[in-house]
Amino acid sequence: MDFVSRTFTIGELARRTGLPVKTIRFYSDEGLLPPTDRTPSGYRLYDTRALARLELIKTVRELGLGLADIALVLAEEATVPRLAARHIEALDEQIRRLRLRRAVLRAVVKRRSELEEVKLMNKLASMSDEERTRLLDEFWAEVSEGVDLDPEFAARVAGAKPTLPDDPTPEQVEAWVEFAELIQDPEFRQLVRRMSERRSAELADGAGTLGRQEDWVSWSTRAQQYLDAGLAPSSAEGRALADEIVAASGARDRHELADQIASYTDARAERYWQLLGIMNGWPPFPSGIAATEWLCAALRA
């Protein structure tokens, strides 16, 4: 008998493919590997086409495809490349979740978290980008409802969404947990609501603008440099910087402008942007509280 026409027992198939007899019998029972014939005693026999079919099943299973997908391939109702592409998507999502789980566990080790914090971290970290964005949108909807936000600030808020990378660091996971707790804190919501209402009223009354974001970055940087150098707010540098801010804002009273700036200076509000920066991989966002206080003092001087 030549090889093409010969038949094999399950034991022989097992020796040729390296698969356990139990596994081959399971495939046969599931209809993936129907026997070609049977011996007079009722034992299953398989031909060379069944051997090739079994090799295909083994290969596809090693790639991670399920029995349902294998049945489609064997019935020629789907191609291996198409199923492989679909499987890649599933694997990518699984890998993303595993990386996130690893980051949570590392954060747990770093923080020495108790059970309740671990449960919270895992729940928050498992959110999708869409769920994180929805939580933030709900926050801003509550704190700005019926309030006319500064257009530049509103655009900045709309473009700043919390996005964790596929392989976040423990610090990014911790930042998201802290951020989620912050924007769900009723006291913080009331704080931001009051700030929004105050600024809306100031704009309606024709109060001078507080300048562009890039201007404030420049002013705060210079104020921090003067502060680090030990210069007093009443120094020549302080007076020059104060004059620049007054001119840019169009303010009529320096003390009122200082009070206006001070009313928007809050460590929690600043922390909001710092946490966003950590999650999104932005450049470090140093604290500007001390620099802002120096600026206010320079305006009052």
Task: Report the pLDDT value the prediction gives residue 1, as an integer from 0 to 100.
Answer: 47
Per-residue model confidence as pLDDT tens digits over 1-51: 444 568 889 999 999 999 999 999 999 999 989 999 998 888 899 999 899
Per-residue model confidence as pLDDT tens digits over 192-234: 998 888 877 777 765 555 666 677 778 888 999 999 999 999 9
Helix (H) / strand (E) containing 44: strand 44-47
What CATH class does 7-78 carry? Answer: mainly alpha
Q: Contact at 8 Å (CB) between 143 and 193?
A: yes
Per-residue model confidence as pLDDT tens digits over 162-177: 888 878 888 888 888 8
Q: Judging by beta carbons within 10 Å of its beta carbon (0-12, 13-18, 19+), is residue 13 exposed, middle or buried?
A: buried
Helix (H) / strand (E) containing 53: helix 48-62
Specify the residue for token string 């019998």: 25
CA 99 to CA 47: how far, in whole Å? 45
Task: Report the pLDDT value the prediction gives residue 88, as an integer from 0 to 100.
Answer: 81
Name the least confident of 53-67, 146-160, 184-198, 199-213: 199-213
Per-residue model confidence as pLDDT tens digits over 172-191: 888 888 898 899 999 999 99
What's at 11, amino acid-wise?
G
Q: Say if residue 155's pLDDT is above 70.
A: yes
Q: Which stretches within 145-281 are classed as H helix?
A: 151-158, 170-183, 186-204, 213-228, 236-249, 254-263, 267-280
